[in-house]
Amino acid sequence: MTVILKLGGSVVTEKDQPETVADDRLADLATAVADSDVSDLVVVHGGGSFGHPHAAEHCVSSTDGTRDPEAVRDIAAAMETLNRAVVGALADAGIPAVPVHPFSTGFRDTDGDLHLPTDQVAAMLDEGFVPVLHGDVLTTAGQGATIVSGDDLVSALATALAADRVGLCSTVPGVLDADGDVVPEITAFEDAADALGESDATDVTGGMAAKVRALLDLGSPAFVFGPDALDAFLAGDDAGTRIRG
């Protein structure tokens, strides 16, 4: 069974503290992954307090590009630093994690469509590795470089690898309604449109609304849940909000 797990940037970092890894929380997540029986796992993590501040400083987003090579280097370097921390935490827990940097493999065309080669990821899975990708800066035809979110990568990977399950581990226990309660299931964006808003920290990739829209387009069942529900998700149970378009 192929599982795509996204660890949100707000989960693996202290998002209100520049370039600060949430070491204890990350170690707990790595232990949960190590204790699971998932055979083919791909991990994607967000930018948190590493990528997002640099992208905001250089005015780069998923739609606004830059041709400044210094901006590209700053964002890419910050994400590689965070990726090393995530891969390192997974490795410390005994997981055969290996890094995959989207800037070096993917691009967007003139229509803004993401092209992400995934044969190397499939080969890594076949050889027993756990590929770890991350939100990144990405060359974009006609715009220089833009941001590709971890959610975009999750969508591309889930489709290309025919994932059986997709999970987004966030700082909230699921998609919340106007009363702060978890919405158990979403089958159309309108189900939770009134409650979906922007992230409360610097985020250049669209917040929860963008996550839900992307997950609704998948053919795989997807879940949005908090760290406490990671064990349940990895065990194959429902966790947080189930999203199925």
* Bind-site residues: 6-10, 47-48, 52, 150, 207, 211
Contact 13, 25 (CB under 8 A): no
DSSP 3-state of 67? coil
Kindly provide the b/e burial profile for residues 81-100, where b requires at least 16 CB atoms within 10 angstroms of the residue's own CB. ebbebbbebbeebebebeeb
Would you state the structure tokens that stand for residue 157, as one six-digit string?
Answer: 């990977």
DSSP count for the chain of H helices, then E strands: 8, 12
Contact 7, 44 (CB under 8 A): yes
Q: In angstroms, rounded to a whole number, what is the distance separating the alpha carbons of residues 209 and 224?
A: 12
Nearest by Cα to 158 from 129, 191, 122: 122
Contact 76, 127 (CB under 8 A): no
Nearest by Cα to 21 from 44, 43, 46: 46
| Known binding-site residue numbers for ATP | 6-10, 48, 207, 211
| Known binding-site residue numbers for substrate | 47, 52, 150
